[in-house]
Structure 1
């Protein structure tokens, strides 16, 4: 018998949000790990609002704000406005963030303003560190063998915003409609800067075209490819090696005293005598791919012939998975924020989300299989 096309809505419901989320939903273990980290950050959240002595309306709870920002990355939501719109009707979003069915969703501008407070207090970096600590406690990090690499991040700024610092006219084409042509002109970061994002730099790598960019760097642990450190710098030819030294130095300080040696895998771009010497000075074995193209490699043949070197070169490719996920799912290919501080925080948050997805998968594997 054909059913009737009717719609009857009950005035009340006796079900909770928890009942609408399947017991085996992938977000359940992720939310548990995030909540565990947020509990440890309570002192930081309290300090963020100590200056608010005048009272007034309560701000968005930082815990809910961070969950919402992670959710935006997990589901590739393009903007805060779209996130707020989807949270209005998506029960899964409300459950993950911590909003009840009757709670009002925030205005996008209020959400953005409160997000700036998190950035100012480095809350995202604190969350990243707690997630890494969780991975270490579960035995998913080696703490000894790492890989490093960098990737280009396109800035939220156009070529038209890249103008002379001295206020001169770059419009050589005589365009009177407001456009700008650069044919036959020489532009560099020394003489030009973006009007909309002063921290972005005109840069190219390999066969890519010159664009206004930043450079993102990650240090991954070779055991399961989890990101142990992440940072953003301005884009230039030395940024990758300088960032690598900062991150591996932090890894050395955090290493256990019983650690015999720390290794660092990297591609040929890191094969420079200055970088190799800096690694050896920190007690790090440089498992850097040898670059012998019309030159002498800074990595000794003794290191290159070792069994650990071959293993590091195979494991270092795991770091590319993090970059690929961040650009296709996390939307980091071109950031929609401006300023190196905001770009850095967004990049670190994206790598936090990437770690959570991998840790969720690792948690489904039997411990003896690890």
Structure 2
């Protein structure tokens, strides 16, 4: 299996985010990719380092199919515009957000930052846009490899993407890498599915495909009644309009273990089988592990082997896109276990 990574992802290196009302060290640091990269290099997988970034018009065209043009423009220009304000901080951190029904899009950068940044986990500085774009480039490369005939590929992406909606960043996510991979696959396959096994609900992914029936979305996660992202991910959220019935959520209790997770995965894949996908994107979170700093579940490393094994048994070519999973001594082992299980599936 070919694995893809872009070194420019390290350009996005936020030092802090807001945790329970207090500034805290951000777990979404370049060390994440370093540990995951080391785990790949210790296996038999082929790690492909992508060339320097250039103006990729195809990537931007594909991103416009899942994100609004004003949001993409915002990400590219926000840091420069923010720092131009007298007395502004070096890091973009909005102090106001629209609540309830808001339809007026502001002209001022503070208002736009609050509009586009759903929470306080998405600080941006001068290197952020480069790192964000490199992450999306990695997802695109892995999906393109499947278009070109690979049976499976892996994209080592950070920052992650599944909380990013059509024009909202959130939960460390800016561009939705899994949705981008699905968009690439749709250029060849009529029916594509995204299976999200991150500990958090992929609310951005759900939002992007909410009214579509060409991309089926399914997620296993901690019940949002007790866990981030809190407002999305209930079992009765099934899509609307053309997309009704094409979204499936399987929320689990806070502290769920590997047995609970694998049983939920069986239910989710049974629902997926009715869609008869021709290609699959696996939004791979490793943050359900018991030691993860953000974990709401108690999975062991060996559980990721079983998850990989079970997902490999689903028919069709697959793109694995890295989502969550934060720095612990177990992080690389968890990825290695998943990849090994996937190869043995």
TM superposition score normalised by structure 1: 0.26
| Larger proportion of helix | 1
